[in-house]
Amino acid sequence: MLSVMVSGLLPIIQIGYIFIINFIFMPSIVSLIAGFQKRVLTMTTHTFPHTASDHAKRPAPLRYLPGLLVTGVLTGFSLWLSQIAWVSELGLGALTLAILCGIIIGNTVYPIFQPICADGVNLAKQRLLRLGIILYGFRLTFQQIADVGATGVVIDLLTLTSTFFLACWLGKKVFGLDQQTVMLIGAGSSICGAAAVMATEPVLKADASKVAVAVATVVIFGTLAIFVYPWLYQLNLHHQWLDISPQSFGIFTGSTVHEVAQVVAAGHSIGSEAENAAVISKMIRVMMLAPFLLLLSAWLGRSQGVKRSEKSAVTIPWFAVIFIVVAAFNSLHLLPQSWVDMIISADTVMLAMAMAALGLTTHVSAIRNAGIKPILLASLLFLWLIIGGAGINLLVGHLL
């Protein structure tokens, strides 16, 4: 019965995936959306000439309110959509739907309200995401973390190093890109997306334009991963090519998908077991950011002769550390289960709001601004993360 159901759903999932790819990459769609955004921005300038300046003078809570309301409405709509039977059968969870709705609104009408919503949207995308990941620890225990264990650490380490060195080699030797752009894209693809790009920027002292290019590439392909990975899982489940459990696929997802938010969304679409393993694997990968930055800073200091006084401060992802502390606290079972359930429900809302905010700030026009060479580099790294990452996962899983 399951195979029949999956067989019936697979073409629909595949059609949806192809549609998403075509929607993002078709030149006509890019031009259409870019033209629409230009008209909307022109209309916004004439309609709300003083909106941004007036909004900036408001007290902090009021500045954040409009953006939080927008992401909250998109979250509520996404939660409602996820309860519809045929939508859930397509593997579209609330988090995936939230980012989809955000992308649609963000590339159409959102520019009208962007001046007054930007503060709240950025708050949801950054602070609520990190708070959501911290509270995600209430879904996990140390026993689950131990199940991932050394296997997850070795997989993350091999994936990180191989992806970053591949980015450096391809970017310089094949595409002729500058070192800063190559390393920013490599850091974003190999560790944790835009957060890794932003953390690497002060170490490299990179230009703002190069940071924007790197962020655009990891957001584009990380967003694609939200849809590709559940589709790959269903495809393998249908054809039975590999004997992979939901937990193993979750580790694969966490060790290869760019952003923390994208890992949560992709894992959520597959199932709770895959989601838990994906988040644990991803958080181990995120915690590797600090040692990565230390090593990169030391290497740059030796290779470029940078003086000790000129070295940049290293960003430590404290939210990843607190996530582990919360999981440890939850392992003690000190809180009533009803309290934990309420925290988990609130956490789902926070993560969905972060997804909606991420979608609102993901613009199709970013593909044109990034240029063809960074896009090609990021696409090859994306393929390596899927194919090479799968090989690393299977090899380490077989050996350990």
| 258-294: pLDDT as tens digits | 988 889 889 988 988 999 899 999 988 888 887 888 8
Short-list 252, 222, 264, 274, CA closest to 354: 264
List, in sequence order, the alpha helices (H) in the chain. Answer: 2-25, 27-47, 51-56, 60-82, 85-89, 94-106, 110-123, 129-135, 142-169, 179-187, 194-204, 208-239, 246-256, 260-270, 272-287, 289-304, 318-331, 337-360, 366-370, 372-399
The answer to whether residue 119 is domain-embedded is yes
Measure Cα distances from 366 to 221, 299, 371 in Å.
Answer: 12, 31, 9
In a domain, 132, yes or no: yes
| Parent domain of 310 | 2-43+63-399
In sequence order, the 6+-apart residues with CB closer than 8 A to the CB of 176 are 373
Domain annotation covers residue 366:
yes
Model confidence pLDDT, tens digit, residues 52-78: 555 555 666 788 999 999 999 999 999
C-alpha closest to that of 23 among 275, 220, 266, 262: 220
Q: Is residue 48 a part of any domain in this protein? A: no
Q: Is residue 50 part of a domain?
A: no
Token output for 64: 């954040």
* pLDDT 10s digits, 121-160: 999 988 898 898 889 889 878 776 777 788 888 999 999 9
- Cα–Cα distances in angstroms (integers) from residue 47 to residues 36, 62, 69, 115, 180, in the given order: 16, 21, 21, 12, 40
Count of the separate structural domains present in the chain = 1
pLDDT(218) > 90: no
Residue 71 CA to chain centroid, in angstroms? 17
CA angle 371, 372, 374 (to 5 degrees): 80
Q: Are 231 and 92 in contact (CB under 8 A)?
A: no
| Residue 58 lies inside a defined structural domain of this protein | no
CA 8 to chain centre: 29
> What is the Cα–Cα distance from 254 to 380, expressed in whole angstroms?
19
54 domain residue, yes or no? no
Three-class SS of residue 324? helix
pLDDT band at residue 167 using 50, 70 and 90 as cut-offs: very high
**Which pLDDT belongs to residue 1?**
38
167-187 mean pLDDT? 94
Q: Over the stretch 24-50, which tens digit does the pLDDT of each residue have?
A: 445 554 455 555 555 544 544 444 454
pTM attached to this predicted model = 0.69
pLDDT tops 80 at residue 375: yes
- Long-range CB pairs of 15-23 (<8 Å, 24+ gap) are 16/90, 16/227, 17/227, 17/228, 17/231, 20/224, 20/227, 21/224
Residue 51 in any domain: the answer is no
CA distance 132 to 268: 14
